Structure 1
Amino acid sequence: MERLTDRILAVADAHPDATALIFRGKRTGYGALARRVRTLAAAVRGTAAPVALHATKTPGTVAAMLGCLLAGVPYVPIDPSVPAARRELILRDSGAQLLLVDDGAPGVRSPALDGSSAAVVVPLGRLEEEAPGGEAVGEPSDIANILYTSGSTGRPKGVLTTHTNAVTFLRWAQDLIGVRADDVVACYAPLHFDMHVFDLFGTLSRGAAVLLLDDRTILFPEAVCRVLREEGATSMYAVPSAWIGLLRSATLADKGLPRLRTLMYSGEEFPVPPLRELAALLPQAGIVNIYGPVETNAVTALVVRPEHLRLDRIPIGLPFGDSKVFLIDTAGRVLTEPGAEGEIVVHTATMCEGYLGDPAMTTASRITVESKGEAYEAYRTGDYGVRDADGLLHFRGRRDGRIKTRGFRVEIGEVEAGLGAHPAVQDVVVSTRPHPERTHELIAFVTLRTPGSLAPAELVAWCRKLLPAHMVPRELRILDGLPHTGTGKADRVALKQMAAVPEERC
């Protein structure tokens, strides 16, 4: 089994003086990174449980990820801004007993865990000081990481990604993108997002430099553009809303990004008008649309051409590598005729092992597909699409209850569960409203057990304690009662129509 660290450490041993990481203007060489990785691997070697990471975007966190992989210990990246209740849930669900924090990064604060937590906070500096010597490589374990994503049951679910999944994806991505040793690849996405697999491991395995755009810089498009120009970034992979944000930058409009040769996006649909504008501002950069859920990483890819920019919606392309992508009807039959809409299901070597501790959910996410006399185990994406006459796949929507906002997948049921947990709430339905930059905004409709007992602002504050920022509703409307269908269910169609009209504000 090839590990994610194998090629990276081989590069480090062959080219120790080459730049591996760029962070806030400072360079870390491959040799220095490899020494730190081996030290951290020795420190966590033998750990029975996965290791959680306070996933601030720093060289220390990158070294900790690689150290865990080298030691044969899965890592669990946790969003540093996540509410304490959600962080605790992830720690307990994953079984992590250590939460590593990069104490050497300016402005990084250790999360406060109470005495009931199963994990203890360990600064990387202390871990390195106390690391034993000896061989750092641990027993082979194919599980590389556990990435938590929104769950329809009201709980986040842990996706088990293997070394084999990731190495396969990177091999296919290199065939498409072709990262070179002289490249500078900007890491924009947060490290708890699956995009980091390409940004970090795809770059370092080729001897190129990773430009870590720190968590504060990405809040300001002008700052991002300035850093990309100053460091000569040649590639960046980000969600469309991030690229759209950069369109507001005077630096991009006036000076462009002359060294950028590859612009990749994923996570949500890119509205065509701003993509056309971006293509005009960066004429030298190739544009690649990558599609796929976290459970499979990339599934399809499209090199966006001028003819695609003339369409109303950008296609999501052709299958990645050796993947097989099928469209099925409600009976599970494969649809082959152009224009027939069906659910997108995928047979691929990048399909995850399943969901941690939930075999029933793992089974429900898969289906056996019969095609041309062969049977394939496939992952059900919950997305719908069509193929055109040229075989290109076009995205047509998501199954009810699952949407994307700002590049993050959100299960409506989890947001509703969070709101419904408030003791004053009687009933709740969360709907969506299209947004030109964020894809969707969440609009919550709530009824109270006692009318007038709670203000919308109090419920929003409640949400912020339980849910990540991207899952907090943009608007929260308290109603006397929810509309219902003839069968007694909440009328989600009527509520979606209400959500489409922004609430009047004084």
Structure 2
Amino acid sequence: MNLLEQIEKWSIETPDRLAFVWRDERLTFGQLKQYSDALAAWIIKEYEQDASPIMVYGHMQPEMVACFLACVKAGHAYIPVDASIPAERVLRIAENSGAKLLLSPTTDALEYLPVRVVGKNWLDDVFETYKDEAPAPANAVKESDNFYIIYTSGSTGNPKGVQITSSCLESFVSWMLEDFNLQTGQVFLNQAPFSFDLSVMDLYPSLVTGGTLWAVDKDMIAKPKDLFASLAKSNIDVWTSTPSFAEMCLMEPSFSESMLPNVRTFLFCGEVLSNNAARHLLERFPKAAIMNTYGPTEATVAITGIQIDQNVLEQYKSLPVGYCKSDCRVLIQKEDGTLTADGEKGEIVIVGPSVSTGYLGSPELTAKAFTTVDGERAYKTGDAGYLQDGLLFYNGRLDFQIKLHGYRMELEEIEHHLRSSQYVQNAVILPIKKDEKYDYLLAVIIPAEHSFEKEFHLTSAIRKELSTILPNYMIPRKFMYQDAIPMTANGKADRKKLLSEVTE
């Protein structure tokens, strides 16, 4: 599959079809082609002998997508940078990537960066001046060239640039079209910012199938009234988000088939999908398929998937994350590098064409996480899991473990059992330190409906349930109840914010 050719086809055959909707702004496929062609022609003229990556800065503006495609048509990888990212981190990305150009449909005020900034007004001039020009297809990125580079958090505090080639992305999109029953001309929810690779799960499947992306931004998410008003107008067919975002929406009683009558597919990635959340979604959207997927940024969004139906819900309290896509393999390795037996836990290793070529400009980090298996690229995820008859189960991060009073424990295991409680809608476990050592566990809980008059009665009931499953040292010492759990810009539970609030 050639992604650019597929998108070009819709731009030529159905130029008036909507490609992107954000608030009152609309972008048709015809406009997408015109804008991206014009900008690509300008980039080629200005940077003919330079293939350095190009930063694209903004949020959910439709021009962001035009900028992405323009970069790729001109032979450059793009680096999506969300406007919510702190200035110091943006500076580090600019320095690490070697980018010489930044495109922004939102602002010109990025003088602190050591790159050329082309802001909104200049972009508008380029779109107009070069509107009748188009780049030659030969200029576009090729199979082994980087298509995009997404920066993720690094353990050293410095962001790491994950390189995703054109072949990686085409492998992912082909799998999505083959295995997830996506149709031509559907409306896709775009909730994740473009700097979070979950956005790729809706962006390119939508563009390649002639679909429409319906974007909700961070300000809408912060104001549920605006969010649900937008969703009610969206006619979404395919919902893509983190589980946390869906769980937040489930707190609104009207979030159901009556609000979104066309939804036929829920795609989840980026976090653990709880049995409880999936059960509520099936009750609210009985005609929809709920797909649980798994994959790190370094393996191009996701590489496993499974439909969660009533049978799966009843069979597994902790939901599986699916079967591996046909062109890749999942291995489970012990610490010594040997493979585990079926059902035995170890580190998840991904092998195949979806795997990134490594971290940009970081050969030592690349050598530590990437390897080859039977001549194919492989990525050591740092995630714990096991395979059972080919079905993958995720057991949290290997480095998301703590030692509390001499006991080693996985916080995600405790969260899983809390979320399975009849009294809990959602939960996050925070390890609280004292004198640089972990002192106790705090459970931050959104309670389910219950009949207890006092919070300590509810806490007692939850403790009693946990005591039948977990050893005493894994039961949180303190419980805190909230109406909501804050989320990061990527739609994940914001543990840092929670921790800062409870330790102030």
Q: Shorter-chain-normalised TM-score: which range?
A: 0.7 to 0.9
Deviations along 1:113-138, one digit per CA (max 9) or x if unpaired, are: 33xx3123321441341455644243
What is aligned with 1:232? 235
Partner of 2:352: 348
Structure scoring higher RCO (CA < 8 A, sep ≥ 6) equals 1
User: Compared with structure 1, are the counterparts of its residues 293 and 442 closer, same or farther at alpha carbon in structure 2 (3 Å cutoff)?
Assistant: farther
The code of the aligned residue for 2:178 comes to: D
CA-CA distance at 1:150 after TM superposition: 0.7
CA distance in 2, matches of 1:439, 1:64: 37
Partners of 2:401 and 2:101 in 1: CA distance: 32
- Match of 1:475, as an amino acid? L
After superposition, the Cα gap between the structure-2 partners of 1:308 and 1:352, relative to the gap in structure 1 and judged at 3 Å, is same
Q: Equivalents in 1 of 2:110, 2:125: separation in Å?
A: 22
Are 1:4 and 1:69, in contact at CA under 8 Å, matched by a contact in 2?
Answer: no
**Shift in Å, 1:55:** 3.0
Question: Against the structure 1 CA distance between its residues 260 and 40, is the aligned structure 2 distance closer, same or farther, given a 3 Å change threshold?
Answer: same
Tell me if 1:361 matches 2:357: no
- Inter-CA distance 439–136: structure 2 relative to 1 (3 Å threshold): farther
Structure 2 CA distance for partners of 1:265 and 1:330, relative to 1, 3 Å: same
Q: C-alpha distance in 2, partners of 1:442/1:43?
A: 52
Identity between Structure 1 and Structure 2 (%): 29
Give 1:37-436 correspondences, 5 Å limit.
37-45=36-44, 47=47, 48=50, 49-103=52-106, 109-114=107-112, 117-130=113-126, 132=130, 134-137=133-136, 138=139, 140-141=141-142, 142-252=145-255, 255-297=258-300, 298-310=302-314, 311-335=316-340, 337-369=341-373, 376-388=376-388, 390-401=389-400
Cα separation, 1, equivalents of 2:13 and 2:258: 37
Does the 8 Å CA contact 2:202/2:240 hold for their aligned counterparts?
A: yes
Q: Summarize deviations over 1:128-164 as a string: whole Å, max 9, x none.
A: 4145564424354521111000111221100011111
Deviation, 1:324, is: 0.8
Matched position secondary structure for 2:169 = helix
Once the two structures are TM-superposed, the CA of residue 170 in structure 1 deviates from its matched residue by: 0.1
Q: Would you say the 8 A contact 2:141–2:147 is kept in 1?
A: no
TM-score normalised according to structure 2 size: 0.77
Query: The residue matched to 1:339 in structure 2 has which SS?
Result: coil
Which letter does structure 2 place at the counterpart of 1:279?
A: L
**Separation in 2 of the partners of 1:445 and 1:79?**
35
Query: What is the CA–CA distance in structure 2 between the aligned matches of 1:232 and 1:402, rounded to whole Å?
Result: 42
CA displacement 1:67-96 (0-9 Å, x = unmatched):
111111111111211211111111111112
Change in 2 beyond 3 A, CA 1:352/1:471: farther
Deviation per CA, 1:231-273, whole angstroms, max 9, x where unpaired? 2101111001000000112321583421100011110101221
Distance verdict in 2 for CA 1:65–1:252, change over 3 Å: same
CA contact (8 A) 1:226 1:251 kept: no
Alignment gaps of 5+ in structure 2: 403-409, 420-425, 437-487
Distance (Å, rounded) in 2 between the aligned partners of 1:19 and 1:286: 25
Task: Supply the distance in 1 between the matched residues of 2:306 and 2:140 (Cα, whole angstroms).
Answer: 38
Q: Give, in whole Å, the separation in 2 of the partners of 1:29 and 1:178.
A: 24
User: Hey, what's the Cα distance between the residues in 2 that align with 1:68 and 1:438?
Assistant: 41
Question: Which secondary structure state, in structure 2, belongs to the residue aligned with residue 355 of structure 1?
Answer: coil
Contact 2:401/2:411 (<8 A) preserved? no
Query: Aligned in 2, Cα 1:226/1:333: closer, same or farther, shift over 3 Å?
Result: same
Provide the residue aligned with 1:28 in structure 2: 27
Tell me the CA shift for residue 333 of structure 1.
1.4
Pair 204,129 (structure 1): closer, same or farther in 2 beyond 3 Å: same
The whole-number CA distance in structure 2 between the counterparts of 1:343 and 1:14 is 47
CA-atom RMSD in angstroms: 2.8
1:237–1:263 Cα contact (<8 Å) kept: yes
Comparing 117-126 with 69-78, greater Cα deviation is found at 117-126
Contact map agreement 2:154 2:160 (CA 8 A) in 1: yes
TM-score by length of 1: 0.77
